[in-house]
Amino acid sequence: MGASVGVAQYGKDLIKLILSTLYESSKFKPSLVAPGGFYEKYWYDRLLQVSGLGIINVLTHHLYNLGPGSDEHLERKILDHERLSRVESIFGNLSEIIKIYGPWSSAWVGEAGGAYNSGVNHVSNRFLNSFWYLDQLGIASCYNTKVYCRQTLIGGNYDLLNTTTFAPNPNYYSALLWHRLMGKKVLAVSSDVHIKDFYLQLGNVSRS
């Protein structure tokens, strides 16, 4: 939107917020979740240092690594394992920042939907869209991300429930299966099979 707040000012504002008279005499103080924006290394590196000890409980960021929903090559991007893996540096950097400057804090993905601007119909609300989603959940787990928030439950083409019928879209079942089946340990699994080759193999099995 063309507006921004410098990290020094933002950090001071967070201190003022949490130490305000609103919770001064309260036994309970809510967790402070910030900043809720797109990751910029310098800005995030400085935020925990500026705000100081115990202020930010959750360091959160938004992630739309597929680009705009208007991209006519969106399907190809979803199946491009090299593109999907680029976000690993973001998760790795945030994990390192927290270890060094804010071990009292934890990392959340505060908002993610694959492709921004509501995604695209017949892609973001189809089975294909689960490939980037599940891949990103796996990467997030490797770097101790505590919470992953999807955009959105209802609304847009990337919603988990159909906007009109409220019937679950495929990503809803991806989230449900992840919640039910995945444990707390992350295994170091690797493969040299390209996702396109996997599709070809799957197709051959289906036809046989």
- Mapping DSSP onto H, E and C, the string for 122-160 reads CCCCCHHHHHHHHHHHHHHHHCCCCEEEECCCECCCCCC
SS3 82: helix
CA-wise closest residue to 52 among 96, 94, 17, 5 = 17
The pair of three-digit structure tokens given for residue 177, joined into one six-digit string: 């299966």
The yes-or-no verdict on residue 60 having pLDDT over 70 is yes
CA-wise closest residue to 158 among 147, 145, 146, 172 = 172
Task: Check residue 188 and give its pLDDT.
Answer: 79
* pTM for this predicted structure: 0.87
The yes-or-no verdict on residue 206 having pLDDT over 50 is no
Question: Which pLDDT tens digit goes with each residue over 134-188?
Answer: 999 999 999 999 999 999 999 999 999 999 999 999 999 999 999 999 998 888 7
The mean per-residue pLDDT over the stretch 42-58 comes to 94
Neighbouring CB atoms inside 10 A of 39's CB total: 18
CA-wise closest residue to 108 among 141, 67, 69, 155 = 141
Region for 185 from its dihedrals, namely left if φ exceeds 0, alpha if ψ lies in -120 to 50, beta otherwise: beta
What are the structural domains, with CATH classification, of the chain?
A: 7-207 (3.20.20.80)
CB 100 within 8 A of CB 45: no
